[in-house]
Structure 1
Amino acid sequence: MHDWITAPSGRQDTEDRIAFDTLATARRALDGTVVAPLVHLGVLDVFGPDAERFLQGQTSAQVGLADGDLAPLTVFCTPKGRMLANAQLLRVDEGHYRLLMQRDLVQPLAEHLGKFAAFYKARLEVRDDLALIGLIGREAPALAEVRLDLLPPAIWHQAGDADVQLLAHPGPRPRLLICLATERASPLWARLAEQATPVGNAVWCLHDIQAGLAWLTPTHRDALLPQMINWEALGGISFKKGCYTGQEVVARAHFRGQVKRRLVRAQLEGSELPPLGSPVETVDGKSVGEVLAAELDADEQVEILAVLTTKEELGPLRVAGQAFKQLKLPYPIERLDPESLAAKT
């Protein structure tokens, strides 16, 4: 499935992880520019004359803002406001939208949305024929410009056309994501690897953690409100649009201040990666949160994103027997309207 990556020096450790025999550590992204295969992400396309109207009733984004320039974050919820998937929304062409999300949620979301798409002139397609490539580092924008002939966009914006899309994501180093057909991926990967060190996608996932950006996985599907992963602070919820599934609960939690858990960054004093869903515990063993993401950083220590209760003083915490040190998020916990992101361009 990923022969375009693994043929030279990579190996597929699991369905959603690829590693390299070269120096493929997080430290490479600190010292230079790296290229990573983003096999943990997947794509769901929505086509048709009613695609915009259909999505408008299902997702937290103001779909009209996805205009081929702004590519806003969004989320799909149950009627009770619990997240089924969060995603980045792109407009690829007239009547053609693209959702980028964690790969294991693509098919479940397609099945969920398919129950409603039947009432619209809209169809859903899981895109197994697309490749996603990430660039990280100071030279990433220049490398993308040379190899793709595209000016890198601002964060949460897009450049390109219906054949190739270039997206900018936040992080401690410049980050760009390339989406294109799989048959075009092999030659592009080879050209990028001439000037950037190939690394496993764990490095990209680490930068998501350091950006305070949590992508929902099956472990927490239908379990969390969007605000519990700080989605409104990242511009992932429009409070200015009309109704969508789960909107009443999401809006009430925001306007009444009823968010009982919040996403935090932390470092663990150890190198044992905890499984997703691992409890965050107090010294007396009480569970006060759960791990949403975990990766090894440049010093071979674990960095995590976790959802913690906001209702009590917690004191010292541990995860899998490792001491928990909370780190600062790179954004304030306050509402960021996606409309303001569009207005700045």
Structure 2
Amino acid sequence: LSFPTPSPQTAPPPRALYTHALNVQGRCLYELILYRLHESQEEEPNILVECDSTVLDSLQKHLKLYKIRRKVNIVPCLDLSLWAIIPGEQSGDISSILDKCADKTLVLTPDPRAEVMGWRLITKKKENPLEIVPGSHIGNIRDYHRHRYKQGIAEGVNDIPPGVALPLESNLAYMNGISFTKGCYIGQELTARTHHTGVIRKRLLPVQLSAPLPLGSIPEGAAILTESGKSAGKYRAGGDELGIALLRLANINEPLRISLPGDANVTLTAAVPNWWPKTTN
């Protein structure tokens, strides 16, 4: 769905939380968005968990490890549909419009990761989102991925490989995905130490290729090289001419290239997203 950007001043209180499960080495395992369905602390907690569909089974097993003897039911919600209401080119404040739509659906809330990602909408599969959000139009999953690649928003196991990606290099602190004030959690030691030293040499960045390429043309984790052949990072994922890559910050302003099978090369340029904090490491 596409719509103008909502204004943060009039947006409703957040109902969503962006988070990750880490392993003991402090690397990302599961990327999650949690949606609170209960209205008050007096009600029985009821939380929806959004994840990459390819890790649904393994995530359920992971959560059940920490259930212990608590009376917690963990079940897939296969009767629900997830929509992204992404900002359109026109400006305007749609917060009041979306507020009036909130009672028509299960969840309608600002995306907790970044304002540029608009709103998240969860409905029953039989519901038509065009009837819920008037004035919008339905795009496709390719439109959604192009939008987030332009913004440098990582999502899913291709962008954030389980057991490989580090949370700070994946910009999770910029996307409200890390708390530095909560109590202990698995993977906290490396994450907190890296944060407090303030030295992060690589980050995920949006990249644009010199020419559109068919999906799968660039091997997963392909090396990105400088003009002199020095390693500058790794390509994570993308589509057509847009993608996302883990790059050394020292090299992002240099000419970069990827060597493809058959002795071919494709050049690419990286950019720092506008939504990042102005002072970054």
TM-score range, shorter chain: 0.7 to 0.9
Q: Is the 8 A contact 1:86 1:215 kept in 2?
A: yes
Q: Which aligned pairs between 1:209-288 and structure 2 lie closer than 5 A? A: 209-217=149-157, 220-272=161-213, 273=215, 274-283=218-227, 285-288=229-232
Return the TM-score normalized by structure 2.
0.76
Q: 2: CA distance between counterparts of 1:286 and 1:189?
A: 48
Say if 1:144 and 1:103 are closer, same or farther in 2 by CA, change over 3 A: farther
Offset at residue 223 of structure 1 (A): 0.2
Q: Compared with structure 1, are the counterparts of its residues 109 and 307 closer, same or farther at alpha carbon in structure 2 (3 Å cutoff)? A: same
Q: Which residue of 1 aligns with 2:106?
A: 164
My pick for the range that moved more, 263-272 or 319-328, is: 319-328
Q: Where has structure 1 moved over 6 Å in runs of 4 or more?
A: 311-314
Name the structure 1 match of 2:10.
none
Aligned equivalent of 2:34, options 74, 89, 95 = 89
TM-score (norm 1): 0.63
State how far apart, in whole Å, the 1-side matches of 2:64 and 2:74 are: 7
CA-atom RMSD, angstroms? 3.4
Confirm or deny: 8 A CA contact 1:141 1:176 kept in the other structure.
no
Q: What are the residue-to-residue correspondences of 1:1-345 with 2, within 5 Å? A: 33=3, 69-93=14-38, 94-136=44-86, 137=88, 138=90, 142=94, 145=97, 149-150=100-101, 164-169=106-111, 170=114, 175-184=118-127, 188-189=128-129, 191=131, 195-217=135-157, 220-272=161-213, 273=215, 274-283=218-227, 285-296=229-240, 302-310=241-249, 315-319=254-258, 320=260, 321-330=265-274, 331-332=276-277
Q: Is the 8 A contact 1:75 1:86 kept in 2?
A: yes
Q: Structure 1 CA distance, aligned partners of 2:248 and 2:27?
A: 17
How far has the Cα of 1:168 moved from its partner? 2.1
Matching residue's letter, 2:245: A
* Contact 1:252 1:258 (C-alpha < 8 Å) held by counterparts: no
C-alpha separation in 2, matches of 1:313 and 1:204: 25
Q: Give the 3 Å change call, closer, same or farther, for CA 208–202 of structure 1 in structure 2.
A: same
Closer/same/farther in 2, CA of residues 180 and 289 from structure 1, 3 Å limit: same
In the alignment, the residues of structure 1 paired with residue 203 and residue 141 of structure 2 have an alpha-carbon distance, to the nearest angstrom, of: 26
Q: Is the 8 A contact 1:171 1:210 kept in 2?
A: no
Provide closer, same or farther for how the CA distance between residues 191 and 201 of structure 1 changes in structure 2, counting only shifts above 3 A. Answer: same
| Matching residue's letter, 2:100 | D
For 1:171 and 1:209, the matched residues in 2 are separated by 15
2: distance between equivalents of 1:97 and 1:84?
A: 20
1:144 and 1:201 mapped to 2: Cα distance? 26
- CA shift for structure 1 position 308: 1.4
String of CA shifts for 1:255-277, please: whole Å, max 9, x gaps.
12353421112211110153543
Per-residue CA distance 1:257-308 (angstroms, 9 max, x = gap): 3534211122111101535433322335554322233134xxxxx1222111
Percent sequence identity over aligned pairs: 23
